[in-house]
Amino acid sequence: MSSVSDISSRIAAIRSTLPQGVELVAVSKFHPLESILEAAASGQRLFGESRVQELERKVASMAASESTEELRWHFIGHLQTNKVRQLLRLHPAMIESVDSLRLLHIIDREALAAGIVQPVLMQVHVAREETKTGFSPDELLAFFRSRGFEELRATHICGVMGMASNTDDEARVEADFRAIRSCFDEILRIAPDLRGFSTVSMGMSGDYPLAIDCGANLVRVGTAIFGDRQY
């Protein structure tokens, strides 16, 4: 496990590289509560989790801690439709991984029933790996051209999220990031009346500086903060 000084210094080092307007998600999945508390003590307030059960356990464990009252959680993993209601009970600040219209509409239905408005990002799939999920750029643009977002009653689409191909080919990674940003820009052109559509989430520990150069304003960094996964 990384020490508090390691985590604090890593967060400080990463923040020093972030331009104004770029926000850091500390990806705490597969890391213990102690590491999250250490990051929170250094001023980090936004964390990312990818499994509903793990997030639920961490939220419950931290409920009594005054130091964690202002923490915000982004859900960044693949979300099964049968886990939506359970996730919404945890009040995530953002669901970044909306990868199908079916999931989007289930989130909207469950959020409406809960009396909340749930912020989400639409996941764009541009990477080479077929295992990664999400909308193709054409599918996502078709949704916005049809103004399908106007049917939503309790979901706020705040932007897009995407991942680059898992490769050492920097040119390929850059092309993927630029494709994600281009999709975001085209959505704004198609639907300039979209309110609050401003987030481009892309870039992880190994490539977030390049993602920022390509137009990211939200980066998801885990290993570079917490070290290798603990479980």
Annotated domain spans of the chain:
4-226
- Phi/psi region, residue 134 (left: phi>0; alpha: psi -120 to 50; beta: rest), is left
Q: What is the structure's pLDDT at 230?
A: 66
- Per-residue confidence (pLDDT) for residue 112, from 0 to 100: 99
| pLDDT, tens digit (0-9, with 9 covering 90-100), for 78-134 | 999 999 999 999 999 999 999 999 999 999 999 999 999 999 999 999 988 777 789
Q: What distance, in Å, lies between the first and last C-alpha atoms of the chain?
A: 11
Q: Alpha helix (H) ranges present in 115-169?
A: 137-145
Q: Say what the pLDDT of residue 62 is.
A: 85
HSE value, Cβ hemisphere, 13 Å, CA-based, for 226: 27
**Ranges in the chain, pLDDT < 50:** 1
Give the pLDDT score at 69. Answer: 67
Place of tokens 């052109």: 189
pLDDT reported for residue 2: 54
CATH 3.20.20.10: does it fit domain 4-226? yes
Q: How far apart are CA 2 and CA 118, in angstroms?
A: 33
Looking only at the bridges linking them, the beta strands covering 23-27 and 218-221 are: parallel
Structure tokens, 69: 């009252």
Helix (H) or strand (E) holding 36: helix 33-41
Angle, vertex CA 121, rays to CA 115 and CA 124, nearest 5: 145
Residue-level pLDDT at 129: 76
